[in-house]
Structure 1
Amino acid sequence: MTVARKSARGRLGLQTFRLPPPATLALLYLFSILIGGGVLWLPISVQQPVSLFTALFISTSAVTVTGLSTVDVGTTFTVFGEAVIMILIQLGGLGLMTFAVLVLSALGIPVGMPQRLILREDLNQTALNNLTVLVRVIFSVAILCEVVGLLALSIVWVPQFGWAQGLWYAAFHSVSAFNNAGFALFPGNLSAFVDDPIVNITIPALFILGGLGFIVVGDIYQKRRWGALTLHSKLMLVGTGSLIAFAFVMFAFLEWSNPGTLGGLKGPGAKLWASWFQAVTPRTAGFNTIDTGAMHDSTTLMTMMLMLVGGGSTSTAGGIKVTTLIVLILATVAFFRRQSSLHVFGRSLKLEEIMKVMALTTVSMIMVAGGIFAMTINHDGEFIDLMFEVTSAFGTVGLSRGTTGELDTFGLSMIMVMMFFGRVGPLTIGFFLATRSAPRVKYPAGQIYLG
């Protein structure tokens, strides 16, 4: 056999066993979780020993930017361990391939087609062009927002905790907020700052910007005019503003007299600040300034719906995404109006985009329903609490009604699976939806009866 034939056969073997981009991306996240869990398990990372399973759970929650935890992060981990968690949050929030491409570009190494394919899945894009430009935009926006957040939060925490600890708290929570992670270093999350104006403005501003998406933030910075913005940016801004306003009014209305939440606060000012914070945090942020477990069932259900929606595409947020919800509503309205196409802000939407939205939503609902079903098999807790934890995990939110800390190994494993699929699953689904194949056989039209 000649050398040329051996080389060709070798290349053929590599092509045969080459994983598709979504599978490669999922493995990257999985390896990051395993490595992060191993580091967090080391004695240098903890103030008190934790099990390897607990370390893996925290690592999964950090890489998937969820924020659910079975231990108090601030008292369990050392500064080194907290730094590891912060790095995992940054890696998971901005995307693992984003960091890889940035390093390759800094070293002057060209980014090949395999890396571009994986990066496309990581950034939830359909095209391969301008990906490296998008990477630079992502890092520029992230660094700028996190530095501004650090400076703002240090105004509150440096006088209270001193320069070293205050700056560390500000840095950690700034990164956690912008990446929509929800990890906090205080025992009651951010409940001690329920009426602090700086905390209530800075933290939500960070996770709203992170949840809008890097494309939207960059588009606003470049265009600075409503008419010049892209359709995606307009839909995200309108959808985000509408959801926040609705949630703010409804949370205040439903919880104003509840002694376990707003009713236990002093004065209408604190109640309004808490209503504002709890209206925006279900958008996959995961921070809380009141006791989430004390909310009424109606407020809990509303929060679950907001967690399912999440933030925007190409952002640090999870969920089915705001634009998905908007397209679903537009499609429903168009059906009742007997319209054959969708129009919004002077633009039309293709049928394949509508089908993609329907498929993503259906698969997401099946995943959530399957997770809830699996949890109820092995746990006899309150049904709404189990639903809340599963929804929070899939939406990579991190809000909890206290059930996560009470789950056994099977329950925690299910939460880990939901967090992983909530972060990686939609990207994998999007890849298969974006793959086009021309039908080889055409069948005659049939009729079924619906409704």
Structure 2
Amino acid sequence: MNKKLNIWQLTPPQILVLGFALIILLGAGLLTLPFASASGESLHFIDALFTSVSATCVTGLVVVDTGSSFTTFGQIVIVSLIQVGGLGFMTMATLVAFVFRKKITLRERLVLQEAFNQGSMEGIVRLIRKVIIYSLSIEAVAALIFTIRFSFDFDFPRALYLGIWHSISMFNNAGFDLFGTVDAPFVSFTGYVGDFVVNVVAMMLIILGGIGFVVIADLIDFHKKRKLSLHSKVVLSMSGLLLIVGALGIFIFEFTNIRTLGSLDFGSKLLASFFQSTAARTAGPNTVDLGALRQASQFLIIILMFIGASPGSTGGGIKTTTFTILISAIVTMVRGKEDIVIYRYRLAKDRILKAITLSMMALFLVIVVTMILSTTEDSSFIKILFEVTSAFGTVGLTLGLTPDLTMLGKILICLTMFAGRLGTITLAYALQPKQEKELFRYPEGKITIG
């Protein structure tokens, strides 16, 4: 009786952490089955666990090539984990509740509120209904376009399978792909570097999945309201700015690099630059060899991966809104102002403190894991930093280090992906003991800064 009571007393953050952990373990168990592996032999548990974590946390880092190492069953398990991990297991549970006309309880609403980082429970079920409809609709349209395009390269059943699979993977910002073969593993989308249709559809999926469901709902309802919320304005403006800055940076740095963009025509150079800038925002696919990029480009991608997508989306990172608040705080301080004002709205101090806390916790996590891996892995510092940031941002881009990770390295990257998907603050709330309200306040003190 006490055990049952303890389960019901779990906080929303603890339910989220436990739910994701159980899904990961279930996925790892299925991927270790012999008929999930193309070789017919059971995949090593740590490799199955790594793949399950990467799929559920919609990252895309892989220790074995997805296209050549797994059977159709294994690939379906992976794409199912991607869908559940991207939309959130509570969203999928709500979908089941809708189908069976089950009422959403107050506790379930609280968990959904935590999962989508909403300020209140008001309209949360309505939002979830929109999330499900929008997600499935977007994936269906993209799957149709992908299928038509892939039918020129494969027979129709294979093209349909690839179309649906990659539509789910790209929209959920997972970065997994099935284009690798035994002779050429880990090729990602490099075979479509100059393909306009594949690039544009993939980028649109990544962007729509990365801006967040609240923003998508806001955009769809724009014709009724004739205005966007402050959240949507910040997300759209910062996402657009980062996309353009990232693309221009990669274009300039790699323009003469014969191993990346140098051998392409001008149009393909632009397309590849925008694709890689988009993918760096937590998606994971690549159309050029990332290991051949100049270090300036690699470091730029590290910055983009650390910032990540937007709140309530399928992506990770510290989020575009957090980055906007940090930049605005710097500008406000330099200008000698007291309040941070964005689009004529003053931000509350608790929002600013949360942004700073989240950023510092994320930076601390990346630094610590990078330092540990620098001693356990036989690789360059830039490769390790790139890998860790990719894991934290749930991006999936790699410079080739993932398959060569040691056992400890795989475990640390798994933990980093898990923290990146759930969020460092959510994880901290889940692990800390129940807080009691303080009955007093200490006197204010002053510390010299700068």
Q: Give the structure-2-normalised TM-score.
A: 0.94
Q: Distance in 2 between matches of 1:35 and 1:13?
A: 22
Hey, what does 2:447 align to over in structure 1?
448
Determine if contact 1:121/1:427 at 8 Å carries over to the other structure: no
Number of aligned pairs?
Answer: 440
Moved more, 393-402 or 120-129: 120-129
Match of 1:88 among 70, 78, 81: 81
Show the counterpart of 2:290: 292
Alignment match, 1:4: none
Whether contact under 8 Å (2:17, 2:427) holds in the other structure is no
What aligned pairs does 1:60-209 form with structure 2 within 5 A after superposition?
60-187=53-180, 188-209=187-208
- Is residue 2:217 matched to residue 1:218? yes
Do the aligned partners of 1:96 and 1:122 also contact (CA within 8 Å) in 2?
no
Equivalent pair of 2:358/2:425 in contact (CA under 8 Å): no
Of 35, 39, 47, which aligns to 2:30?
Answer: 39
Give runs of aligned pairs for residues 365-404 of structure 1, distance below 5 A.
365-404=363-402
TM-superposed CA distance for 1:57, in Å, is: 0.9
Distance in 2 of aligned mates of 1:114 and 1:227? 34
1:329 aligns with 2:322: no
Residue in structure 1 matched with residue 244 of structure 2 by the alignment: 245
The amino acid that maps onto 2:10 is: L
d(CA) in 1 for partners of 2:373, 2:2 = 45
- Farther-moved stretch of structure 1 (202-211 vs 122-131): 122-131
**Residues 171-196 of structure 1, C-alpha deviation per residue, up to 9 Å, x if partnerless?**
11100000000001012100000000
SS at structure 1 position matched to 2:346: strand
Deviates more, 1:301-310 or 1:38-47: 38-47
Which sits farther off after the overlay, 72-81 or 99-108?
99-108
User: Is the Cα–Cα contact under 8 Å of residues 279 and 285 in structure 2 kept in the other structure?
Assistant: yes
Cα-to-partner distance string for 1:300-352 (whole Å, 9 max, x where unaligned)? 11000000001110000110000110011111111112212122212221111
Q: Which amino acid aligns with 1:246?
A: V
Contact 2:38 2:70 in 1 (8 A): yes
CA-CA distance at 1:37 after TM superposition: 0.9
1:106 is displaced (CA, Å) by: 2.3
1:427 CA drift (Å): 5.5
Say which is worse superposed, 402-411 or 105-114, in terms of deviation.
105-114
Q: Letter of the aligned partner of 1:241 in structure 2? A: G
Supply the distance in 2 between the matched residues of 1:365 and 1:76 (Cα, whole angstroms). Answer: 34
Rounded Cα–Cα distance in structure 1 between residues aligned with 2:50 and 2:253: 33
CA shift at 1:214, angstroms? 0.5
**Which amino acid in 1 is paired with 2:55?**
A
Question: Tell me, what secondary structure is at the counterpart of 2:152?
Answer: helix
Give distance in 1, aligned partners of 2:224 and 2:374: 50
After superposition, the Cα gap between the structure-2 partners of 1:280 and 1:98, relative to the gap in structure 1 and judged at 3 Å, is same
Alpha-carbon shift at residue 279 of structure 1 (Å): 1.3
Alignment counterpart, residue 339 of structure 2, candidates 338, 341, 344: 341
Other-structure match for 2:316: 318
Contact 2:376/2:406, CA 8 A, preserved across alignment: no
Q: Following the alignment from structure 2 to structure 1, what is the Cα–Cα distance between the partners of residues 330 and 22?
A: 41
Counterpart residue number, 1:5: none
Aligned residue identity for 1:87: S
Partners in 2 of 1:226 and 1:344 — Cα distance?
20
What is the identity, as a one-letter code, of the residue corresponding to 1:344? Answer: I
Is 1:26 matched up with 2:17?
Answer: yes
Q: Residue 98 of structure 1 contacts residue 135 of structure 1 at CA under 8 Å; is this kept in 2?
A: yes
How far does the alpha carbon of each residue in 1:247-281 deviate from its partner, in whole angstroms, 9 at most, with x for none? 11110000111122111x33222212111111111
Residue 235 in 1 paired to residue 229 in 2? no
Between stretches 326-335 and 393-402, larger displacement belongs to 326-335
Q: CA deviation at 1:51?
A: 1.2
Contact 1:396–1:419 (8 Å) recurs in 2: yes
Deviations 1:31-84 (A, max 9, x none): 101110111111221211321221111111000000000111111111111111
Indicate conservation of the 8 Å contact 2:306/2:317, yes or no. Answer: yes
Does the 8 Å contact 1:22/1:427 carry over to 2? no
Q: Is the 8 A contact 2:24 2:56 kept in 1?
A: yes
Q: CA deviation at 1:439?
A: 3.7
- Please give the secondary structure, in 2, of the residue aligned with 1:159: coil
**Secondary structure of 1:68 counterpart:** coil
Deviation at 1:426, TM superposition (A): 3.2
2:251 is equivalent to residue 260 of structure 1 = no
Q: Which amino acid aligns with 2:90?
A: M
In the other structure, the counterpart of 2:269 is: 271
Change (3 A) 1:384 1:71: same
Deviations 1:367-415 (A, max 9, x none): 1111111111212310110010000001000000001111111111111
Percent of residue pairs bearing the same amino acid type: 37
Read off the aligned partner of 1:421 and give its amino acid letter.
A
Higher mean C-alpha deviation, range 102-111 or range 77-86? 102-111
**What is the CA–CA distance in structure 2 between the aligned matches of 1:326 and 1:26, rounded to whole Å?**
27
Q: Residues of 2 paired with 1:24 and 1:140: CA distance?
A: 25
Distance in 2, Cα, partners of 1:118 & 1:220? 25
Deviation at 1:104, TM superposition (A): 1.7
Any conservation in 1 of the 2:179–2:188 contact (CA below 8 Å)? yes
Residue 304 of structure 1 contacts residue 391 of structure 1 at CA under 8 Å; is this kept in 2? yes
Matched to 2:143, the amino acid is L
Q: What amino acid does structure 2 have at the position aligned with 1:193?
A: Y
